Amino acid sequence: AANSFASMMELLYMVFTDINLDANEFAAMQKAVSAALANQEKNPQHVFSDKMVRTWYNSPYIKSVTPADVEAASREQALKIAKDLTANAADYTFVFVGNVDLNALKPLVETYIASLPGNPKTAIKKVDKYNPELFIIPGSSIDSFTTEMTTPQTFAAIAEIGDMEYTTKNAQLASIAGQILTNRLIKTVREEMGAVYSIGASGSASRMGLNPITLSSSFPMKPEMKNEVLDFIKSQYKAMEKDITPEELNPIKEYMVKSFTESKEKNGAWLGAILGYQTNGVDTFNNNIETMNSITVQDVMNFMKALNAQGNYRVLTLDPAK
């Protein structure tokens, strides 16, 4: 284990000081990726994703990569980007989590990290301003497209975004809202309507961004049931402002408390918590069980009211061409 750790530190040092891209390997990878992307061009799932990022985002950085993009890339440009990103080690925070012998770790850090070229005066500071083009365009819309399909089905994506303070409670409320919506979609859209093979929703809070709260769902469905399904889902976003029950909420709380309890023993969870704290200074790890236990039905309904009131509900569909 000690030798493996030392090897890892050597590799880390090499990435910062001697990163390189073999010309033949780069060309081979470029060819392979370009061919793979070319095969996706007529895949309805790929067309759907491409339409979504081109419709919901303004930035050219958030778009589907094409074979032409890959073929236009140069090894020199890629290498320059990599070298620019690793030119100043003071831009980085190094975190080690696990059964680490501090006496063995210290000399390795001194040898392989402390010696890296770095200048704190020119280091990248914490990001506190964001380019709006890198995030979903605010507002509400319904956008529909068509494409040729071997197996006719309608792809749908629904996303509601909102600006709320990033706190432990809001992050948990976003997750809870996603789980409640998932259960409702499974019960009605899949089991009662029979409109989909599988369906779910996701609620999340990002530590970065202009509208860090997202409650979304994406799925394929029977084309003839498109309007019925979309109308039901929209109704549930609104209904969750006033009709969430303890019977819906309590099992989710119990599951999440169990998950949080188990995570206290896992290196990955600690690593994620530390890196998250480094991002925006909010500790969502040490108090997560107490916060979860305190959440009420009214809290979830108030969360949905605040999210819906911001008017950022987007729908995008891809139908089979007739």
Dump pLDDT digits (tens) for 173-225: 999 999 999 999 999 999 999 999 999 999 999 999 889 999 999 999 999 99
| pLDDT band at residue 269 using 50, 70 and 90 as cut-offs | very high
CA–CA distance, 14 with 71 (Å, rounded to integer): 28
Top-confidence residue, 170 or 101: 170
Enclosing H/E stretch for 319? strand 313-320
The mean predicted confidence, pLDDT, of the chain is 95
Residue with tokens 């409320």, as numbered in its chain = 173
pLDDT at residue 74, rounded to an integer: 96
| pLDDT band at residue 1 using 50, 70 and 90 as cut-offs | low
pLDDT at residue 41, rounded to an integer: 84
3-state SS assignment for residue 105 = helix
Q: What percent of the chain has pLDDT over 70?
A: 99
Top-confidence residue, 131 or 298: 298
Predicted confidence (pLDDT) at residue 127 exceeds the cutoff of 80:
no
Mean pLDDT of 109-134: 89
Predicted confidence (pLDDT) at residue 34 exceeds the cutoff of 80:
yes
| pLDDT band at residue 2 using 50, 70 and 90 as cut-offs | low
CA–CA distance, 140 with 161 (Å, rounded to integer): 10
Predicted confidence (pLDDT) at residue 13 exceeds the cutoff of 80:
yes
Which domains does the chain show, CATH number per domain?
2-122 (no CATH), 132-320 (3.30.830.10)
Mean pLDDT of 222-247: 98
Query: What digits encode the pLDDT tens for the residues 281-304?
Result: 999 999 999 999 999 999 999 999
CA–CA distance, 127 with 154 (Å, rounded to integer): 39
CB burial readout 81-116, b (16+ within 10 A) else e? eeeeebebbeebeeeeeeeeeeeeeeebeeebbeeb
pLDDT at residue 128, rounded to an integer: 73
Top-confidence residue, 29 or 322: 29
Predicted confidence (pLDDT) at residue 26 exceeds the cutoff of 80:
yes
Rounded to two decimals, what is the model's pTM?
0.93
| pLDDT band at residue 3 using 50, 70 and 90 as cut-offs | confident
Strand partners, 221: 154
CA–CA distance, 148 with 44 (Å, rounded to integer): 8
Predicted confidence (pLDDT) at residue 101 exceeds the cutoff of 90:
no
